[in-house]
Structure 1
Amino acid sequence: MPAIALALPSGGSAAAVPVAVLTAAVLHAVWNGLAHRIQDKLAGFALINLAYTVCAVVLVALNPLPAAAAWPYLLASVVLQVASQILLLRAYQLGDFGQMYPIARGSAPLLVAVLSVTVLGQGLGGGELLGVLVISCGLIGLALAKGIPGRAQLPALGAAAGTGVMIASYTVLDGSGVRHAGTVGGYVAWLFLLQGPSLALIAWARRGRGLFVGVGPVVPVGIVGGVLSLTAYGLVVWAQSRGSLAAVAALRETSIVIAALIATVVFRERLGRLRMTASATVLAGIAVLEFARP
């Protein structure tokens, strides 16, 4: 896997970064599974956001303030992360977990590669082009897992793809921002403190006092999901401050495989050969893309 490309400064353990990223991948797939399991998705996401907001308050008190140079990155990331949650929420409301999650996660590395050519004017080598093509084939397979998408499926697929756009964007921002912050803990704490209340307020504006009616039994699930979400991304940001941004971003997409297992075992979704093969193809393409980077 691309973990071999990760580099730590002298004095660090070379195994620490890949272990942290793989742990984050597991936690990320699990908290997304928990979010999807809550029948009322809007209330579920609101609970998760409120849970990690409380955790973030504690972390803000325990960590130094990020340096001034990091704040433009941090604030822009907050906007993109809130947008990604809104899109992911919509995708989970409309589609299957086993299909939406791989599209959302797998499209991000592909989009980074495409943007590097179309926006930044960077060329793709043969290996990188192969990786892009393999990821594209996998994503097409996922989109066609239930046959040619009809008009009813397009909103779910669009929301999942839009989530990937947001993920690609805030990954790059946070990878740069944390290196300017002077404190990983402070950066993560403020990131979650600022974004946490946003979705909860949006949900409250839509539902008012009825938002949390009848959700008592799933409050513990929301709390666990919030803690896992904060921990997972905190580990990723820590890894980004010490290792290769591209390799960290690629390695954490192993969560696609974990999500496929959750979809099968927990949600009893029939993934079928096509969807399983497509998920594995996306993961293989990500590995090819990152191995081929100069």
Structure 2
Amino acid sequence: MSFWVLLAVLGAAFLHALWNALIKLGTSKIGAMVILSVAEIPIGLAIAASRPLPAAEVWPWVIAAGCTHFFYKTFLTFAYDRGDLSRVYPIARGAAPMIVALVGAALLSDAITTMQYAGIGLLAAGIALMARGVFTDGESRKLLPFALGSAVATAAYTLIDGLGARVSGDAVAYVAWVFVVDGLIFTLGMTALRGRSVYPSSPKAWAMGSFASLASYGAYAISIWAMTIAPIAVVAALRETSILFAVLIGWLWFGERMTRDKALAAVMIVAGVITTRL
């Protein structure tokens, strides 16, 4: 992986942490996620209009990605209803690279070195330490099944997107159509489950949700592009530096406690990123 691809993936990690913070900031997490999903549709269509239509063999990957994103968003919003950004985010994102690495080693042709796997393992250890407060600081354990469900969905769509973008040959167009399908599935699904009351009425909520959607697209598109030229498991691991950004946002923006364990975990995460580069 080149230095510029590394910087691009780290930028995507920040954008991912940012849009999650914006969702967490909303009074209704489901409502904020619905706004984000509604905004995804015109964003995706606008970008897709400038690209050739994907070939027939690409559409199953697009639909599969949209379905897994529905579960990812649902589990994530339920988890944020029950826990802090700096706890939910590490758990939700932390288990995914391990699943991707294990499945990728078994099913994909990507060449992952021993040092890179060591880096992924160190990254995972830092993430586990970051999430330890669920048990030691008296936080609600009800967030755990939803955060872990989000992690499984993240691993699934990471593999689907990496392979789908390669089949497509056009990462930009692929991501654009995934945005459209994802936005439609989540919006229609939540409307069916919750009714029209799921839509917030505040203009500020719509503006914030739309901005979150733009940040989400930037994070998503950069990551998918990187997966077309670098090993999927390594890109997925580097994306998890978004946990460091999320912890800093939680501390500086939301006033969440910065404990010794959080600081140590942040150092371990950075060390894991460096190790994956060796």
Quote the sequence identity (%): 33
CA distance in structure 2 between the aligned counterparts of 1:226 and 1:61, rounded to whole angstroms: 18
CA distance in structure 2 between the aligned counterparts of 1:61 and 1:125, rounded to whole angstroms: 39
CA distance in structure 2 between the aligned counterparts of 1:149 and 1:173, rounded to whole angstroms: 36
TM-score by length of 2: 0.87
Q: Which residue of 1 aligns with 2:49?
A: 61
Structure 2 unpaired stretches of 5+ = none
RMSD (Å), alpha carbons? 2.8
1:228 is the counterpart of 2:215: yes
1:185 is the counterpart of 2:176: no
After TM superposition, the structure 1 = structure 2 runs for residues 19-38 of structure 1, keeping only pairs within 5 Å, are: 19-38=7-26
How many angstroms does 1:107 deviate by? 1.6
Contact 2:68 2:153 in 1 (8 A): yes
Q: Which residue of 2 aligns with 1:99?
A: 87
After TM superposition, the structure 1 = structure 2 runs for residues 193-204 of structure 1, keeping only pairs within 5 Å, are: 193-204=180-191
How many angstroms does 1:74 deviate by? 2.3
How many angstroms does 1:68 deviate by? 2.6
1:48 is the counterpart of 2:55: no
TM-score by length of 1: 0.83
Match of 1:262 among 213, 228, 249: 249
Of the structure 1 ranges 227-236 and 201-210, higher mean CA displacement relative to structure 2 is found in: 201-210
CA distance in structure 2 between the aligned counterparts of 1:267 and 1:45, rounded to whole angstroms: 19
Letter in 1 for 2:245: I
Residues 10-38 of structure 1 deviation map (CA, whole Å, 9 limit, x = unaligned): xxxx5542232122111111111111111
Who wins on radius of gyration, i.e. which is larger?
1
Letter in 2 for 1:67: A
CA distance in structure 2 between the aligned counterparts of 1:237 and 1:136, rounded to whole angstroms: 21
Contact 2:100 2:236 in 1 (8 A): no
After TM superposition, the structure 1 = structure 2 runs for residues 111-130 of structure 1, keeping only pairs within 5 Å, are: 111-115=99-103, 127=115, 130=118
Q: Which runs of 4+ in 1 moved over 6 A?
A: none
How many angstroms does 1:126 deviate by? 6.6
Contact 1:102 1:279 in 2 (8 A): no
- Secondary structure at 2:81's aligned position in 1? helix
CA distance in structure 1 between the aligned counterparts of 2:216 and 2:158, rounded to whole angstroms: 15
CA distance in structure 2 between the aligned counterparts of 1:133 and 1:62, rounded to whole angstroms: 40
Structure 1 unpaired stretches of 5+ = 1-5, 7-13
Aligned residues: 276
